[in-house]
Amino acid sequence: METINQQITQNRRRTWLVLVGFVFLIAVIGFLLGLVFAYQNDQPDMMIPLYTTLGFLAGAAIYTFFVYLSVTNILMKSSKAHQLQEADDPTLFNIVSDLSMAAHIPMPDIYMMDEAAPNAFATGRDPQHAAVAVTSGLREMMNREELEGVLAHEISHIKNYDIRVSSITVALTTFIAGAGAVMIIAGVSMMRGGNWLGFFGDRDRDSKDSNYFWLAILAFGFIVWLGGWIIKIIGVPIAQIMQFAVSRQRESLADVSGVNLTRDPQGLINALEALKEDETPMSNPEAKGAALYINEPVNQHGHTPFLVKMFDTHPPLDERIARLKRLLGEQ
């Protein structure tokens, strides 16, 4: 059976492979888009796909950098969480402070989500700029031992730099989705421009060459529009699969490394069993931070959001509990 350190090493290796996959996917999208431009002439210029590939990679890097710097604000606003002060909940601050010292990291900011459903997540760009958020439902449901187990799980995300990986994968996924949306809008704009200017303008001034020009604009606009939809239909789901694959790995890693902090698997076992029995819906189960939650959120109908369920962002709670019980048996 693998040790905790072996599992950590293996999951980190898989995470880097997924990030390499993201870079490859963005490069492929840029190259294919460049081919569209390259074959507009009789003599295709194969330097154009190279330029568009480099452009896409540079754009993804710049976009990721800015999201990376502000990821905590983005996710906390999306989750409607507010920051707590120590006087608001001294017990919660005491638990987070103790776990942070055990993990040898600075104490993260603490946020509260006004949600009846029990859940929690961690975010930030590194241990020096990190935050944890818990729902009011989790705070009310868990006793100190269980709450310590959940928070050790979240502190482990920070210690293991899972939060950095999550920030990057969220940014890259939204970049790919944004690129597809921009291409769809640009294609529609070009088709409308060619339509209105080429066919509903002043016909007395139209020439054969002019008609060819506007037909070319229409055709090119259609190609760009179609390319945008291909990215949205194929590229975005692939990116989401890779993002959720990272999420699945990070949850397993945080469970076992969290036990390293508390030396008490039973606390997290009890917490996960309580989460397993709870079916309280979240008001915003598809928030940007939903893939980061310790437990898969459910909507008002008691269902997990389609993409979360389809790509299995979290290992089943039974599987996570069984793994922790095996660790408990080894002690």
- 286 has catalytic annotation: no
314 is in an annotated binding site: no
Name residues whose C-beta falls within 8 Å of residue 224's C-beta, 6 or more positions apart in sequence: 36, 183, 186, 187, 190
Name residues whose C-beta falls within 8 Å of residue 323's C-beta, 6 or more positions apart in sequence: 252, 255, 256
Q: Count CB-CB contacts under 10 A for residue 155.
A: 30
Supply the Cα-derived Rg of the chain in whole angstroms: 24
The SS3 call for residue 249 is helix
Q: In the 8-state DSSP scheme, what is residue 233? A: I
| 115, 154, 286, 319: the active-site residue | 154
**What is d(CA 56, CA 35) in angstroms, rounded to the nearest whole number?**
14
Strands (DSSP E) found in the chain: 81-83, 109-113, 120-126, 129-135
**What is d(CA 169, CA 229) in angstroms, rounded to the nearest whole number?**
21
251 is in an annotated binding site: yes
Name residues whose C-beta falls within 8 Å of residue 232's C-beta, 6 or more positions apart in sequence: 177, 180, 181, 184
The SS3 call for residue 2 is coil
In which element (H, E) is residue 164 found? helix 162-199
Residue list, annotated binding site: 153, 157, 251
Q: Which residues are catalytic?
A: 154
Residue list, annotated binding site for Zn(2+): 153, 157, 251
